[in-house]
């Protein structure tokens, strides 16, 4: 018996639970992509699957809708995979352990993947139905959305006829998204060199942060564990001489990191001085972030002694300079739309290997020239330190369409169903609509979705009641003539 079996709408939650049982991290969407292909073939639907594992499914119009313009519906197959420290799930092999908490569905110890599994579940439920009225439906399921929208960038949509797109990758009921920022991933790499050092090893831990989506939550003032670690090490340097053995934190550039760890070596007898220096900085940071991140924990502990390879003093200094002085967070707010972040970046991943220090950022802006300047700024600073940058997953901004028939129809339907106006909104997070608009000339797009909270974190939750209301709304939208 499925965990969600008794929930309504039954068909939507049936498919959502099936999707959650299939591993589908970014770049590993093969199983879920093949599932969608089998689904389509079993129902005699036209289906395409490319080398990137993108899937397109086409279902012909129901009687009475043959002359209505086709509707494109779109969501993505991959999910952000984050888990709690003690969670043993292997995201490449295991399904999620779903739970119901009041009005919410969540996953034990992991992200839920409601972003964007609920979109796929909605669409499969529509495609499986013999009673839902609709025009010709052209469904796009993309891959690698969470790591730079690579599936949308590479997909061939030349076979599609529709120029109205319903994107189902939003997370707040009653909001209709009509434009979004463009962005890219920027990886900064600094070559490193090592030397041997003998002393006591101290582990420093930053944990307990809220984290979140680097587009949606970037304006919440939440702490970034990688930056806090940089500050802790910089402050400690004023008191105790140490050498860096290891440092790392975060797993995705588009998720605000929640935990970072470092290991350093100090001379025998300096252990307590370093631990005390860390405690003093921890006290200050706990106060600074008491509202946005009330559960912050920063501490240091001795973990053994002996000889280890450490970063040379020159490389260690460059490491601290880059972490602490490269830009991060909001860079500018929109002058046209009140409250909208225009340009930002997020240090999502910090990693040290035997060859290099790697810092991975998600860069976003609704202004193309501002995004390019920010990339140049990063490149110049990193080059000054002797490093290089690479950019990947470039995607354009989705520009607002002043004359949108789809938006007008959706607003009218919403008003008729709920007796109030929806919120028309631009967001700082990236959506695939901008990429698809570049492939389908004249595309008219709107993005909606049910209420989700904690997206991209282990606290991610999907509202059951909102999922039902949005389902009912989608059915009215697709049968609109």
CATH of the domain at 226: 3.30.70.360
Coil vs helix vs strand at 101: strand
Q: Residue 224 falls within a domain, yes or no?
A: yes
- pLDDT tens-place string over residues 413-442: 999 999 999 999 998 988 999 999 999 999
Q: Residue 5 falls within a domain, yes or no?
A: no
- pLDDT tens-place string over residues 259-297: 999 999 999 999 999 999 999 999 999 999 999 999 999
Query: Does residue 359 sit in the same domain as residue 428?
Result: no
Catalytic residue numbers, as ranges: 78, 145
Asked if 207 and 259 touch (Cβ cutoff 8 Å), the reply is yes
Max distance between CA atoms of the chain, in angstroms, equals: 84
Q: What angle do CA 295, 299, 305 make, to 5 degrees?
A: 155
Query: Does residue 170 sit in the same domain as residue 194?
Result: no
The H or E element spanning position 446 is strand 444-447
Q: What's residue 359's pLDDT?
A: 98
Query: Does residue 148 sit in the same domain as residue 19?
Result: yes
Place of tokens 């008219």: 444
> Closest by alpha carbon to 251, among 424, 87, 9, 95?
87
Query: Does residue 200 sit in the same domain as residue 284?
Result: yes
Query: Does residue 120 sit in the same domain as residue 163?
Result: yes
Domain boundary among 345, 370, 395: 395
Taking only Cα atoms into account, the Rg of the chain, rounded to an integer number of angstroms, comes to 24
Query: Does residue 416 sit in the same domain as residue 290?
Result: no
Q: Residue 1 falls within a domain, yes or no?
A: no
CATH of the domain at 148: 3.40.630.10
The stretches in the chain having pLDDT less than 50 are none
Place of tokens 């049910």: 450
Domains of the chain: total: 2
Domain extent for 129: 10-181+397-478
Q: Residue 137 falls within a domain, yes or no?
A: yes
Place of tokens 């930002």: 344
Q: Residue 307 falls within a domain, yes or no?
A: yes
**In angstroms, rounded to a whole number, what is the distance separating the alpha carbons of residues 264 and 32?**
42
Q: What's residue 386's pLDDT?
A: 97
**In angstroms, rounded to a whole number, what is the distance separating the alpha carbons of residues 320 and 157?**
46
Domain boundary among 378, 395, 412: 395
């Amino acid at each position: 018996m499925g965990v969600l079996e008794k929930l309504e709408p039954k068909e939507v939650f049936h498919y959502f639970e099936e999707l959650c049982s299939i591993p589908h991290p970014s770049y590993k969407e093969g199983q879920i992509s093949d599932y969608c292909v089998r689904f389509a073939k079993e129902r005699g639907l036209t289906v395409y699957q490319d080398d990137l594992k993108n899937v397109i499914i086409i279902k012909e119009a129901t009687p009475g809708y043959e002359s209505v313009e086709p509707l494109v519906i779109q969501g993505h197959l991959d999910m952000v995979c984050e888990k709690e420290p003690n969670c043993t799930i292997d995201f490449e092999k295991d399904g999620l352990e779903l739970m119901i908490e009041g009005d919410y569905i969540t996953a034990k110890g992991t992200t839920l993947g409601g972003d964007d599994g609920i979109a796929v579940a909605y669409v499969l439920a529509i495609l499986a139905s013999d009673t839902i009225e609709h025009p010709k439906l052209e469904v796009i399921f993309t891959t690698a959305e969470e790591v730079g929208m690579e599936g949308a960038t590479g997909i061939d949509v030349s076979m599609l006829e529709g120029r109205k797109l319903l994107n189902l990758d939003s997370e707040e009921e009653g909001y209709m998204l009509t434009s979004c920022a463009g962005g890219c991933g920027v990886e900064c790499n600094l070559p490193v060199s090592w030397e041997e050092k003998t002393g006591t090893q101290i582990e420093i831990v930053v944990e307990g942060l809220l984290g979140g989506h680097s587009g949606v939550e970037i304006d919440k003032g939440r702490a970034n564990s990688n930056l806090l670690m940089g500050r802790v090490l910089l402050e400690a340097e004023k008191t105790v001489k140490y050498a860096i053995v290891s440092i790392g934190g975060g797993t995705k550039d588009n998720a605000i990191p929640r935990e970072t760890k470092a290991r350093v070596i100090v001379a025998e007898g300096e252990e307590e001085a370093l631990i005390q220096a860390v405690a003093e900085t921890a006290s200050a940071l706990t106060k600074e972030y008491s509202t946005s991140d009330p559960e912050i924990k920063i501490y240091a502990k001795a973990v053994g002694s002996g000889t280890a390879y450490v970063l040379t003093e020159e490389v260690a200094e460059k490491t601290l300079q880059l972490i602490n002085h490269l830009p991060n967070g909001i860079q500018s707010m929109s002058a046209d739309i009140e409250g909208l972040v225009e340009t930002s970046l997020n240090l999502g991943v910090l990693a040290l290997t035997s060859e290099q220090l790697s810092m991975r950022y998600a860069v976003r802006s609704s202004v193309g020239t501002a995004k390019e300047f920010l990339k140049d700024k990063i490149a110049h600073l990193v080059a000054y330190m002797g490093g290089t940058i690479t950019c990947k997953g470039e995607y354009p901004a989705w520009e607002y369409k002043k004359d949108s028939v789809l938006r007008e129809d959706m607003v009218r339907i919403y008003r008729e169903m709920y007796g109030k106006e929806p919120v028309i909104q631009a967001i700082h997070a990236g959506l695939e609509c901008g990429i698809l608009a570049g492939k389908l000339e004249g595309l008219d797009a709107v993005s909606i979705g049910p209420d989700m909270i904690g997206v991209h974190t282990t606290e991610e939750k999907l509202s059951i009641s909102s999922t039902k209301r949005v389902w009912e709304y989608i059915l009215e939208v697709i049968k609109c003539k």
